[in-house]
Structure 1
Amino acid sequence: MRAALYLTLATLFWAGNFVVGQAAMETMQPLQLTFWRWALAAVPLLVLAQAVDRPDWRAVLRRWPMLLLLSCLGMSAYTLLLYSALGHTSALNASLVTAANPALIMILAAILLRDRPGPLSWVGVALGLAGVLLILAGGNLQRLLTFSIDAGEWLIVAAITVWGFYTIAARRLSVPAITSTAVQVAMAAVVLVPFAAATGAGLPATSSEGWSLAYIVLFPSLGSYLLWNLALKHTTAANAGNYLNLIAVFTAIITVALGQPVTVPQILGGVLVISGVLLTSAGGKAPQRPRSSKSTSSPPSASPAKFRPR
């Protein structure tokens, strides 16, 4: 029961990142939001890593080349693409497309790592792809045939592709979960400093921007990772992965609560994507037993078949 509560809250906070991120993009720049998100989250995450993981920091830092690569992919490139996409498409569209990420990761794993998914997994991939195409086209086949897809949709597809490569690379990293995330966040903040300075990416100028940044730092950046890893002490990674389907559901609920319309193609596409994810998961390897927080992976470094970005 405790694990279910933690996982539900974690996915709720991650869903909020789509909605709040979309609102923030009305007045902020993607680089500005990305830089300050990680700059403000870095120190608290490092403190959290020390408290929860108690890592051997020398051993962790010896893996700095891989951690830097992962930071550039998952923390910098993915986040920049996500917030750029939210400046051109709806939070619901973005969350529904990212819901197909496990299927994309499975395809990349089959190509790059010679994984051999079962037939049920491929059926899930086909369903997920159909759902994504339905969402991208808005129910209008002509948009697909003429490649008349909006910039926001292309950016979110690029974002989940980057995350797919990130997840494949992260499979080779044996660093405690929160520690890995914290170091990557700190590296992203440092790497982005010159770019932020060159573009004048200052702190939020209005109260609404400040509240948006505060939410993104406190809840999806800190709260969700803590709750996720606490939950993984009481349940399997496979079970936790299924809860990630709630991100699109929560995003839809928040969208409706805010008075924004939800279209039939979004509903049908979402059903296809989530059904495809469940089939892909069911056709994969059997879930492992729960492990301690020292060896448990958080979403960024977990099994590619199960996790997708927030």
Structure 2
Amino acid sequence: MKAPIFLVLATLFWSGNFVVGQAAVASMTPLELTFWRWTLAAVPLLLLAHFFEKPDWRAVLRRWPALLLLSVLGMSAYTLLLYGALGYTSAMNASLITAANPALIVVMAIVLLGEKTTRLGWLGIGLGLLGVLLVLTRGELHRVFSLSINTGELMMIGAIVIWGLYTIIGRRLDVPATAATALQVVIATVTLAPFALAMHVQFPDTPAEGWSLAYIALFPSLGAFLFWNLALKTTPSGTAGNYLNLMVVFTAIITVALGTPLTLAQMAGGLMVIGGVLLTGIKGRPRPAPPATFWAAPGRGR
């Protein structure tokens, strides 16, 4: 019974990151937010991993090349793009684009790993793509052909592509989840430090910046990862993944509560994205795989 509560809390905390992050980028740079977020979260995450998972740290550290790559992708590049995007687009639009990530990961797994999906899966991918386009064009789909799309939304597309790569690579990492996350955060702190020094990054000096950073470090960075990993001990990853759809709902509720109305295009696009993700998760008989070629070796993706 605790697992569903943990999953709801994790998605609620991650949803708040969109809204608080958008407010924070008004006075802080994406680099400042990213660097201080992971710097403040590094030691607590290491302690959580040590006491909850009790990993063999020597065995974990032997996977440092993969952890370094994952840190650069998921902790640094994705987070920088996310906060950069929030300087140009709304938290609601950012969350709607992020909601298409599960469908995008399916497409990337098909292309990169030779995995297969069902006809319903392809329908879900198409529906999710159409929903994202509806949000990006604000209901005017003809804008796609003129490439008249907000810079922030283009950055969010880049962010979810990077997160897709992060997810696919991370699937093959046989390291306890919280320990892997903690070490990636430590690596991000170390690798971002030279850039932070070069850009004269300073600790927030106003109450608003301090509270924003405190929320980001405590809830999306610590609380969400803790609750998510605790839930995964008793919940299949596919079932847990469906809870990520709540991020759109929670972001919409927070946005409306703060006085920003939703547009019809956002509501319609959000429903299409969520529907598309649910369709991609339906199990069925996959289409037969094509004969193996030089780019799709037999057995790849198992």
TM interval, short-chain normalised:
over 0.9
Deviation of 1:206 after TM superposition, in Å, equals 0.8
In the comparison of the two structures, how many residue pairs are matched? 287
Secondary structure class of the residue paired with 1:116:
coil
Aligned residue in 2 for 1:193: 193
What letter corresponds to residue 257 of structure 2 in structure 1?
Answer: A
1:56-71 alignment, distance < 5 Å:
56-71=56-71
1:138-149 alignment, distance < 5 Å:
138-149=138-149
RMSD over aligned CA atoms reads 1.4
- Residues 41-98 of structure 1 show CA distances to partners (whole Å, capped at 9, x for unaligned) of 0000000000111011111111100100000000000000000000000000000000
Aligned residue in 2 for 1:296: none
Q: Output the CA distance in 1 between the equivalents of 2:168 and 2:3.
A: 26
Deviation of 1:142 after TM superposition, in Å, equals 3.4
1:227-266 alignment, distance < 5 Å:
227-266=227-266
What letter corresponds to residue 165 of structure 2 in structure 1?
Answer: F
1:169-248 alignment, distance < 5 Å:
169-248=169-248
What letter corresponds to residue 249 of structure 1 in structure 2?
Answer: V
Aligned residue in 1 for 2:280: 280
Deviation of 1:124 after TM superposition, in Å, equals 0.5
What letter corresponds to residue 228 of structure 1 in structure 2?
Answer: W
Instruction: Say yes or no: does 1:97 pair with 2:97.
Output: yes
Q: Output the CA distance in 2 between the equivalents of 1:252 and 1:285.
A: 35
What letter corresponds to residue 199 of structure 1 in structure 2?
Answer: M
Can you give the 5+ residue segments of structure 2 that lack an aligned partner in the other structure?
287-300
Instruction: Say yes or no: does 1:18 pair with 2:18.
Output: yes
Q: Output the CA distance in 2 between the equivalents of 1:94 and 1:84.
A: 11
Q: Output the CA distance in 1 between the equivalents of 2:50 and 2:99.
A: 31
TM-score w.r.t. length of structure 1? 0.90
Aligned residue in 2 for 1:108: 108
* Paired-residue identity, %: 63
Q: Output the CA distance in 2 between the equivalents of 1:18 and 1:82.
A: 8
Deviation of 1:233 after TM superposition, in Å, equals 2.3
What letter corresponds to residue 158 of structure 1 in structure 2?
Answer: G
Deviation of 1:241 after TM superposition, in Å, equals 1.1
Deviation of 1:141 after TM superposition, in Å, equals 2.4
Deviation of 1:200 after TM superposition, in Å, equals 1.1
Q: Output the CA distance in 2 between the equivalents of 1:150 and 1:284.
A: 37
Aligned residue in 1 for 2:52: 52
Secondary structure class of the residue paired with 1:60:
helix
Point out 4+ residue stretches in structure 1 off by more than 6 angstroms.
none
TM-score w.r.t. length of structure 2? 0.93
Deviation of 1:109 after TM superposition, in Å, equals 0.6
Instruction: Check 1:280–1:63 CA distance in 2 against 1; reply closer, same or farther (3 A cut).
Output: same
Q: Output the CA distance in 1 between the equivalents of 2:156 and 2:32.
A: 18
For the pair shown, the structure with the greater C-alpha radius of gyration is 2
Contact preservation (8 Å) 2:20, 2:212:
yes
Aligned residue in 2 for 1:166: 166
Q: Which one is further off, 228-237 or 69-78?
A: 228-237
Q: Output the CA distance in 2 between the equivalents of 1:243 and 1:171.
A: 19
Contact preservation (8 Å) 1:128, 1:275:
yes
Deviation of 1:284 after TM superposition, in Å, equals 6.9
Q: Output the CA distance in 2 between the equivalents of 1:104 and 1:281.
A: 12
Aligned residue in 1 for 2:298: none
- Residues 128-168 of structure 1 show CA distances to partners (whole Å, capped at 9, x for unaligned) of 00000000000112321210101011000000011111111
Deviation of 1:283 after TM superposition, in Å, equals 3.7
Contact preservation (8 Å) 2:49, 2:179:
yes
Q: Output the CA distance in 2 between the equivalents of 1:69 and 1:102.
A: 21
Instruction: Check 1:285–1:178 CA distance in 2 against 1; reply closer, same or farther (3 A cut).
Output: farther
